[in-house]
Structures are given as structure tokens and as C-alpha cells.
Amino acid sequence: MTTPLLSVGNVTRRYRLARTSFHAPRPVLTAVSDASFTLDRSRTLGVVGESGSGKSTLARMVMAFERPDEGRVLFEGQDLAQLAPSALRRLRQRFQMVFQDPYGSLDPRRTVANSIAEPLRAIGAGDHAAKVAQALDQVGLRAGDGEKYPHEFSGGQRQRIAIARAIVTRPALLVADEAVSALDVSVQAQILNLLMDLQDELGLAILFISHDLAVVGSLCDDIIVMKDGHIVEAGPASKVLSAPSRAYTKTLLQAAEI
């Protein structure tokens, strides 16, 4: 059996909250509790849950922005928490992230090409111009768009720019945290199709985080449903959507259906 691209094993992440009284110990919030899953190349895993369910914390651990208190995140078999900072920096080109609000994640004073080249600079890669031009082309923007600034683009186009920045280092894994939630229906469909095209073209694995089961259903092979830090349901998308075992998943489904 080959090593999965991403293997998350029994991860738990706790936060210490502010003291509520001088004498009491600081309360502890368990944001993610004993979560495990794997993700292979060219596959999409949807993580569904509401705010506070722990899905974004899970994403940040996969991105090595945070370390799990327990358990391991293995990327291509390497434990991210055990890597030296320099090795982690080099490995970062292999996994990239796209956020919900493209306007908030793009520097308004930088040209689009400059923003897209950012991850290349971070890893000290050469030949920026050619790679940026290729990334722009892959997300359906024109080469000339690189000279413009973020405010000159619509919300959907800005999300394309954010995706171009994420794929410019040729990652194997893309983590998308509510990447289409802020978009209108017709634009959302365009961006979802773009993600599918990029997956076919580049063999990307996608960890797709969303509160919307309908969006997840259109894109994902497998789904995990999170509630209060726990994975409450997991399985192939077709099974979770057609025969949800948990009442909570059923409510989410009801919310997504006309």
C-alpha cells in the first residue's frame, strides 16, 4: 500500500481560554478532538460543519500553522510537527491554502502578479514571471491582468487570483477554507468548476472546508461532518448525502435543499 498524501491521525487541539474568575483554573476549549482521516492525490475531501465545529482549526493543523496537542499530521509520510523550520518552509510549496475572503488575503497595494509570486519568493524559487503567467492562465485570467491591482477585479476574479497564488508553487494539496462561501451562485459554480479543472490537470488533492453540504456534494469524493470538535460522520460523499446516519447531518442536508 502506498503512503497517502495526507494522513491525519488522532489529532486533538485545545485552547486555554481567559480566566473567568481569579481562583478558578483557566477553562480549556477542545477545538478538535481525536480526529483522523486520510486524503490521496487527485481526491477531494469535504469537511462540513458550522462555526465553532473545529473545521478551521483542523485546516490550520494540516497547514502546520498550528501544532496538534496530540496526534500527528503526516504529509507525504513526514510528521509536520517534527520538521525543522527550514525543512517545513521548503515543504510548504507542496501544500497551499485558499481563504474565504480574497479581498482580505490580497495586498491592495501590490499588483496581482506581485501577490501571486509571493509563495515563490518565500521558497526562493526562480523564474517568477513565467510561473505567474502560467498560473494566471490556468485560473482563466489574462497575462495582462497581472499588472492590475485587486480592486480592479470582481469577487469571483479575486478568488481566481487567490487560487493562482496557491497553485503557483505546484502544490500536491490545496486546502480551501470556505473558498466559495462569499460568492454568488453563478460565480460559485464557475469557481467550483475551476477547482475541478485544476484537480484534473494537476492531480491536486483538495481539502475543502465548507458549511454548505450542497457545495461539498458537487465537488467531494468523501465527506467528514464535524460538530463540537468531533468527527460525527464520515464516508463517501454519495453515502453521507443519500443516507446520513446522524440527525445533525440530516439537518444540514435539509438546510441545503430547496
Partner 1 sequence: MIEVEELSIRFGAATAIREATFTIQPGDRIGVVGESGCGKSMLALSLIGMTPEAARVTGSIRLEGEELAGAPDRLWRRHRARRVSMIFQEPMAALNPLKRIGETVMEPLLVHEGLTRAAARARVLSLFEEVGLPGGRLRQFPHEISGGQRQRVLIALALACNPALLIADEPTTALDATIALRITELLVRLAEERRMALLFISHDLAAIARATRDVMVVYGGDIIERGPTASVLADPAHPYTRGLIAARPRAAASPRGPGERRPRLPTIVGAVPPLAALPAGCRFSGRCPVELPVCAGQRPEAVARTGGGGAICHRLGAESLTA
From 241, 255, 244, 171, select the one nearest 206 (Cα to Cα): 171
Q: Does 3 bind partner 1 (CB under 8 A)?
A: no
Q: Which of 76, 101, 221, 228 binds partner 1 (CB under 8 A)?
A: 221
Residues forming beta bridges with residue 74, ordered by sequence position? 7, 79
Beta carbon nearer to partner 1, 12 or 42: 42
Which of the residues 24 through 83 are near partner 1 (CB under 8 A)? Answer: 42, 50-51
Q: Is 200 in the site for partner 1 (CB under 8 A)?
A: yes
**Which residue, 32 or 213, is less far from partner 1 as judged by CB?**
213
**Cα–Cα distance for residue pair 109/106, rounded to 1 Å:** 9
* Residues that contact partner 1, how many (by CB under 8 A): 43
32: left (phi over 0), alpha (psi -120 to 50) or beta: beta
- Interaction of residue 251 with partner 1, rule CB under 8 A: yes
Which residues inside 150-179 make contact with partner 1, applying CB under 8 A? 154-157
- The rounded distance, in Å, linking the Cα atoms of 238 and 5 is 22
Q: Answer whether 205's CB lies under 8 Å from 42's CB.
A: yes
Q: Is residue 202 within the footprint of partner 1 (CB under 8 A)?
A: no
In the list 64, 83, 88, 187, the residue contacting partner 1 (rule: CB under 8 A) is 187
Contacts of 232 by beta carbon, 8 Å cutoff, 6+ apart: 225, 226, 246, 248, 249
243 binds partner 1 (CB under 8 A): no
Nearest to 132 by CA among 101, 161, 152, 155: 161
Residues that bind partner 1 (CB under 8 A): 42, 50-51, 154-157, 184-190, 192-193, 196, 200, 211-221, 236-238, 241-242, 248, 251-258
